[in-house]
Amino acid sequence: MQTGPHDTIALDVLLTQSRRHGLGTARPELYAQQRHGIIQRSIPAILGEIVNVLIVYGTTEGQTRKIAERVAKGISDRGHSVELHDSLEPDAGLDLETFHAFVLAGSVHQEQHQKAIKNFATAHSERLNASPAAFVSVSLSAALEETRSEAQSYVDRFVSLTGWQPRMTLLLGGALRFAEYDYFQEQVVKFIVMRRGLASEDGSDREFTDWHALDSFIDDFLERAKS
């Protein structure tokens, strides 16, 4: 895994805590490997405190990126280590063994999550199934109680396609961003919002994301990842 300044700070915190727990002196070879970033994944398991999280997201118009960034900030603000990865970017440089927990996030277009996030989940299903790993599914169907079963059906399909069974799932409302749509997309969205009665009076952009629900989800996720 590539290490940046954030990782260095996180590793220093870990090493300070290792010393406090006597790990540096009891296991000098482990301590040296930690310093070189070789076995970062085992650190949270040892300390039971700091979790190293990988967030991978798929987005088409940008709302899921905004959500993934909020999750990353929430995790980092709570004192944990986090790396954010766009599923469209090559993942060859990512070593999943160095992470202790995972959040995948994707949005729904015509009843499907992004191909890139499906591919990532499929390629790494074994590692994800063996870890504390959560899925955030962003759609307009998730915004209304009456259509939440539809939002759940998108996730069910994602799970059966990828073979990854997330330990936690969050259905989250997305956004309407008319400036981002071409003619075809605009017609599809108009049809969706008409069916769901979600359109604003003047047809302008609207955000349906429940940020409080997302913050509670971050707390629950970290609790589970630490245990």
Applying CB under 6 A, which residues contact ligand FMN? 59-64, 107-111, 138-141, 174-175, 181, 185, 188-189, 192
Rounded Cα distance, 170 and 214, in Å = 8
Q: Nearest approach, Cβ of 222 to ligand FMN (angstroms)?
A: 23
93-126 burial, b for 16+ CB within 10 Å, e for fewer? ebebebbbbbbbbbbbbeeebbebbbebbeebbe
Planar angle of CA 161, 164, 166, nearest 5 degrees: 125
Q: Which residues pair with 139 in a beta bridge?
A: 173
Smaller CB separation from ligand FMN, 23 or 117:
117
Q: Whole-number minimum distance, CB 172 to ligand FMN, in Å?
A: 9
Closer to ligand FMN by Cβ: residue 60 or 81: 60
Of residues 97 and 186, the one with the C-beta less far from ligand FMN? 186
Shortest Å distance, C-beta 208 to ligand FMN: 8
Q: Shortest gap between Cβ of 141 and ligand FMN (angstroms)?
A: 3
Alpha-carbon gap, residue 224 to 144, rounded angstroms: 27
Smallest separation (angstroms) from ligand FMN to the CB of 185: 4
What the block records as the tokens of 213 is 């629900």
> Closest Cα partner for 49 from 4, 13, 83, 6?
13
Give the residue with the Cβ less far from ligand FMN, 44 or 58.
58
Measure the CA–CA gap between 79 and 76, rounded to whole angstroms: 5
- In whole angstroms, the minimum distance from the beta carbon of 15 to ligand FMN comes to 37
**Residue 106: closest CA among 177, 158, 176, 29:** 158
Spatial distance between the Cα atoms of 45 and 39, rounded to a whole number of angstroms: 11
CB of 11 or CB of 103, closer to ligand FMN: 103
